Amino acid sequence: MEQQAYPKNLTVVDLDNQTPTILYQKATFPAEWLPINFVSQNSFYAGYAGVLHACLSFGLLPDDNTKVAILGNGNVSQGAFHGISKFTAQVRMFYRKTLPEFYQQKEQFDLIINGIEVGAQGTPILTLADQSLLKPGAFLIDIAADAGYAIEGNRFTTVSEPIYQENSRYYYTVPNTPTIAYHNVSKYLSQQFSQYIYKKDITIFKERALRGNK
């Protein structure tokens, strides 16, 4: 936003929030004609496809000896749960309010899936100190792809090289994982965009921002 949108006077439409919003010159306005969570399945597939890709890339089909923690309860985390629970019942979901319980048990988990974004200004969900206490060989899947922030110090990986090892732990941080299930996601997004975006004159986004900014 600071490097591109503000200097170029761009109107930005954020569809990835629960409530779609328009951002214009550091002000935010609701896109009230768009349904809440109208592209939620895109985030769901991010978790679902990403977790399957991560496990297969790691050569792992989890079983009931694999203890799994999922951090977060949003669409991405729900998709991750949908995918991983097909293999094992040893899955725990931790929300922001129950993260203290996760921290008390973190050494037990073989697979930790993060679905929480914190951004550059946020406090890491797993600090470097936390990671040093994890089980050697633990596999951390940052399905939120909040590289360097939610899981402190982790870095982006790619579909061709999805995993790296550091300090006896393994990391997966592939961005834009819905593209792994592109047949499903493209069909879904085309339907949603055709119904809610392209049938309208898209100048409505700019007009709404200009009205709200006065």
49 and 136 together in one domain: yes
Same domain, 162 and 131: yes
Q: 33: domain range?
A: 1-38+196-214
| Mean of pLDDT values over 177-182 | 96
Are residues 69 and 12 part of one domain? no
Q: What is the per-residue pLDDT across 141-176, written as a single tens digit (0 to 9) for each?
A: 999 999 999 999 999 999 999 999 999 999 999 999
Residues 17 and 90 in one domain: no
* Global pTM value: 0.86
Give yes or no: residues 165 and 98 share one domain. yes
Does 201 lie in the same domain as 142? no
Tokens of 59: 């050569």
Give domain status of residue 187, yes or no.
no
Cβ atoms within 10 Å, residue 181: 18
Question: Are residues 14 and 54 both part of a single domain?
Answer: no
Query: In the Cβ-directed half-sphere of 22, how many Cα atoms lie within 13 Å?
Result: 22
Domain count, the chain: 2
Q: What is the pLDDT of residue 13?
A: 87
